[in-house]
Amino acid sequence: MITRAKALAKRYWPRLKLRTILLTVLLTVAAMPVAGAVFLRVYENTLVRQTEVELVSQGAALAAAATALWPGATPPAIPLNKASPGYYTPERTTIDLSASRVLPSRPAAKRSATPPDPAAVAVLPALRPVIDETTRTTLASVVVLDRNGVVVHGLGRGGSQRALPEVAAALEGRTRTVLRRQSDYRPRYSFEWLSRASGIRLHHARPIVVNGKVAGVLLLSRSPRALFSGLYEDRGKFLIGLAGLILILVLLSGLVSRGITRPIVALSRASRDVAAGQGAIPDTPQTAAIEIRQLYEDFRMMAEAIARRSRYLRDFAAAVSHEFKTPLAGIGGAVELLQDHGGAMSAEERARFLANISADNTRLAQLVTRLLDLARADMARPGGDVSADVAATIHRVADAQGGKLHIETTLAARLPAVAVPEEAIETVLTVLLENARQAGATRALVTASLTPDGVCLAVADDGPGVAEADRERLFEPFFTSRRASGGTGLGLPIARSLLAASSGRISLTSSVSGARFEVILPLAEDGD
CA 300 from centroid of its chain's CA atoms = 22
Please list the alpha-helical segments (H only) found in 347-471. Answer: 347-378, 390-401, 422-438
DSSP states along 221-243: EEPPPPHHHHHHHTHHHHHHHHH
Predicted pLDDT at 207: 95
Looking at the structure, tell me whether residues 368 and 415 fall in a common domain: no
User: Are residue 501 and residue 443 in the same domain, yes or no?
Assistant: yes
Other CB atoms within 10 Å distance of the CB of residue 279: 14
Mean pLDDT of the 362-390 span: 67
**Domains contained in the chain, number:** 3
Residues 53, 101, single domain; the answer is: yes
Based on the number of CB atoms within 10 Å of its own CB, is 425 exposed (0-12), middle (13-18) or buried (19 or more)?
Answer: buried
For residue 232, is it within any domain?
Answer: yes
pTM for the whole thing? 0.48
Residue-level pLDDT at 56? 93
d(CA 69, CA 125) in angstroms, rounded, equals 10
Phi, psi of 325 (to 5 degrees): -65, -40
Q: Taking the CA of residue 233 as centre, how many other CA atoms within 13 Å lie in the half-sphere pointing to its CB?
A: 8
Cα dihedral 299, 304, 306, 310 in deg (nearest 10): 160
pLDDT on residue 454 = 87
pLDDT tens profile 97-136: 888 898 999 998 888 888 999 999 999 999 999 999 999 8
Query: Would you give the DSSP letter of residue 257?
Result: I
Q: What digits encode the pLDDT tens for the residues 177-205?
A: 999 988 777 666 655 556 677 778 899 99
Range in 315-329, 399-413, 438-452, 497-511 with the lowest mean pLDDT: 315-329
Would you tell me the crossing angle of helices 18-69 and 235-256 to the nearest 10 degrees?
170
The rounded radius of gyration (Å) of the Cα atoms in the chain is 51
Judge contact between 194 and 185, C-beta under 8 A. Answer: no
- The CA distance from 427 to 148, in Å, is 116
What pLDDT is attached to residue 413? Answer: 82
The mean predicted confidence, pLDDT, of the chain is: 79
Residue 58: is its pLDDT beyond 80? yes
The more confident residue out of 98 and 150 is: 150
Same domain (yes/no): 359, 404 = no
Chain segment 293-320, per-residue pLDDT in tens: 787 788 788 877 777 777 766 766 666 6
Give the tens place of pLDDT for each residue, 424-434: 888 888 888 88
Residue 272 lies in a domain: no
How high is the pLDDT of residue 383?
Answer: 58
Q: What is the distance between the alpha carbons of residues 336 and 333, in angstroms, rounded to a whole number?
A: 5
Look at residues 376, 408, 431 and tell me which one is the last residue of a structural domain: 376
Range of the domain at 106: 16-74+92-188+195-241
